[in-house]
Amino acid sequence: MKINFSPPDITELEINEVVEALKSGWITTGPRTKELERRIATYLGTPKAVCLNSATAALEMILRVLGVGPGDEVITSAYSYTASASPVVHVGAKLVLIDTAPNSYEMDYDQVAAAITDKTKAIIPVDIGGVPCDYDRLFSIVNDAKHLFKPSNDIQRALGRIPIVADCAHSFGATYKNLHTGNVADFSSFSFHAVKNFTTAEGGAATWKHIEGIDDEAIYKEFQLLSLHGQDKDALAKTKIGAWEYDIKGTYYKCNMTDIMAAIGLAQLERYPKLLKRRQEIIKRYDEALKDCPVSIVEHYTDEHMSSGHLYLVRLNDATMEQRNELIERMAEKDVATNVHYKPIPMHTAYKNLGFSIDDYPNAYNQFKNEITLPLHTNLTDEEVDYVIHTFKECLGVL
Ligand SMILES: *Cc1c(COP(=O)(O)O)cnc(C)c1O
């Protein structure tokens, strides 16, 4: 048996939709992208959705829609992938990284509150592994800090407090207090990259909750301008006979989704409830098998939240980094691919060069040093899951 870590789950349905798109005469942003946006908004319960070429682009465009830039500060977690943090640098704002709480994958919320200044213009919590963050806590933190907030555009004025901008790259389909993520934070970004739960090969989406006094259609138009050269007509609108004329409203960016990508997404969305259910079955199988092992696991399903079941994160109690790394190698020798989520952001060269040091993030480091992520994807059979469990226990020395 050979167990891959996270291969895409592609069926005839996706293949047929892509072939249809290719044969349709329209392959870039067009009817399929617009249809996927409508269906995602309906699924999540948001006013609209904007499909783009990645979650990274979605997060960056959200910060730009919010008017975040030089002179501003943005808070996010030290325990994530670089793409939670790099968009803050892209827009020219100051990146503020927060340590995790002890034995948690989430930011230490007391440290978040303490890091707020009169320059803070967004907080980016990360739904690690598909488990929603404590959004009630985050909203209470930004409500308590209202007096510090100095709005500098219409959306900021309408909110009257620091916006919560969730990195939901892992949590498409998850719920927090019965609301889908995407409809919980003020703005949210999703990833449809090949290794994520729901894929368009590359791709992502931005969503937001309605803001009193702000037109959702105006926000949508702003995303369109920002993601397509600042051009006031998209390529499809320009193909209407006689409609060649257009204007460039700003020297903006290029990160739109193509209809070929959207075709994959339309098929994935149809299958998604079943895919989420299968992930839940696999997680329950792992949970049951590992409950007596010397490991700490994440609770994906509680009264408060239903995770999207993106990652099966395991921490080896009392293990050193060397022991964790050896376990990864031993499992690889038995053809089980595992992974580590995440090497904290301050440990990477780019962030060291920005002045960050892992010494300031002891909890994130402890979280990382004994973490191993087991394979969790919807191509796995029960027999394969059992093989992963057997291999893991064997390599851990608890059989
Ligand atoms: C994958 C990922 C992203 C980036 O997604 P892309 O679609 O590749 O840009 C952002 N944040 C987290 C936590 C991720 O895992």
Query: Which residue ranges of the chain lie beneath pLDDT 50?
Result: none
196, 254, 284, 334: the catalytic one is: 196
Tell whether 309 is covered by a domain: yes
Considering 238, 264, 290, which residue would you say is the last residue of a domain?
A: 264
The answer to whether residues 319 and 336 belong to one domain is: yes
Is residue 35 packed enough to be buried (19+ CB in 10 Å), middle (13-18) or exposed (0-12)? Answer: middle
Cβ 200 under 6 angstroms from ligand 1: no
- Structural domain contains residue 1: no
Tens-digit pLDDT profile for residues 148-159: 999 999 999 999
Residue 131 belongs to a domain with what CATH number?
Answer: 3.40.640.10
> DSSP letter at 347?
G
Question: In terms of domains, do 202 and 319 share one?
Answer: no
Looking only at the bridges linking them, the beta strands covering 175-176 and 305-306 are antiparallel
Q: What are the two backbone dihedrals, phi and then psi, of residue 398, each rounded to the nearest 5 degrees?
A: -115, 15
Antiparallel, parallel or unpaired: β 165-167 and 120-124: unpaired
Dist. CA 56–CA 190, nearest whole Å: 9
94 is catalytic: no
Calpha distance 244→234 (Å, rounded): 11
Per the structure, the count of domains in the chain is 2
165-167/187-191 β-pairing:
parallel
β-pairing, 73-77 with 120-124?
parallel
Residue 75 CB: number of other CB atoms within 10 A?
A: 26
Q: Are residues 243 and 122 in the same domain?
A: yes
Cα(143)–Cα(162) distance, rounded to whole angstroms? Answer: 8
Closest-CA residue to 235 (of 57, 64, 27) = 27
Determine if ligand 1 sits within 6 Å of the CB of residue 54.
yes
45 and 177 co-located in one domain: yes
3-state secondary structure of 83: helix
The Cα 284–Cα 296 span in angstroms is: 15
Distance 347 CA to ligand 1 centre (A): 18
Is any ligand 1 atom within 6 A of the Cβ of residue 167? yes
Same domain for 104 and 32, yes or no, is yes
Question: Ligand 1: distance of its center to the CA of 137 in Å?
Answer: 24
User: What pLDDT score was predicted for residue 323?
Assistant: 97
Identify the pLDDT of residue 127.
Answer: 98
Residues 121 and 68 sit within 8 Å (Cβ to Cβ): yes
Any domain includes 3: no
- Tokens of residue 383, six digits: 């027999």
Ligand 1 atom with minimal separation from the 126 CA = 13
* Domain-located, residue 7: no
Query: Pick from 264, 282, 306: which residue ends a domain?
Result: 264
| Atom number of ligand 1 nearest to Cα 127 | 13
Residue 367's domain spans which residues?
A: 273-397
Tell me, yes or no, whether 176 lies in a domain.
yes
Residues 178 and 70 in one domain: yes
User: Are residues 307 and 290 both part of a single domain?
Assistant: yes
Question: Ligand 1, residues 56, 340, 348: which to mutate, most atoms within 8 A of Cβ?
Answer: 56
Q: What is the DSSP letter of 359?
A: G
Task: Please indicate, yes or no, whether residues 257 and 298 belong to a single structural domain of this protein.
Answer: no
Q: For residues 128-148, b (16+ Cβ closer than 10 Å) or e, as one string?
A: bbbbbbbbeebbebbeebeee
Confirm if 169 and 52 have CB atoms less than 8 A apart. Answer: no
What's the CA-to-centroid distance between 259 and ligand 1, angstroms? 21
Distance from Cα 165 to the centre of ligand 1, integer Å: 14
What is the helix (H) or strand (E) element at residue 57, kind and residue range? helix 55-65
Ligand 1 contacts CB of residue 55 (under 6 A): yes
d(CA 72, CA 96): 10
Distance CA 373, CA 314 (A): 6
- Contact between residue 398 and residue 381 where contact means Cβ atoms under 8 Å apart: no
Taking CA atoms, 333 is separated from 313, 328, 336, 338, 390, in Å, by 20, 9, 7, 11, 14
Residue 4 lies in a domain: no
Distance 170 CA to ligand 1 centre (A): 8
94-98 sheet: strands from edge to edge: 94-98, 73-77, 120-124
Query: Which of 264, 283, 301 is a domain's end point?
Result: 264
User: Residue 374 — φ and ψ, nearest 5°?
Assistant: -85, 155
Q: How far is it, in rounded angstroms, from Cα 394 to Cα 376?
A: 19
84 CB under 6 A from ligand 1?
A: yes
Count how many Cα atoms sit within 13 Å of the Cα of residue 217 in the half-sphere of its side chain. Answer: 0
Q: Considering the domain boundaries, does residue 170 fall inside one?
A: yes
pLDDT at 322: 97
**Probe target for ligand 1 pocket from 51, 77, 82, 167, with the most ligand atoms within 8 Å of CB:** 167
349 in the same domain as 235:
no
Q: What is the pLDDT of residue 47?
A: 98
pLDDT digits (tens, 9 = 90+) for 59-99: 999 999 999 999 999 999 999 999 999 999 999 999 999 99
Distance 87 CA to ligand 1 centre (A): 11
Residues 237, 277 within the same domain:
no
Pocket flag, ligand 1, residue 56 (CB < 6 Å): yes
CATH number, residue 293: 3.90.1150.10
Ligand 1 binding pocket includes 191 (Cβ within 6 Å) = yes
Give the pLDDT of residue 235.
Answer: 78
Question: Is beta strand 49-52 parallel, antiparallel or unpaired with respect to 204-208?
Answer: antiparallel
Which atom of ligand 1 is closest in space to residue 167's alpha carbon? 11
295 with 237, same domain: the answer is no
One domain, residues 171 and 298: no
pLDDT value, residue 240: 82
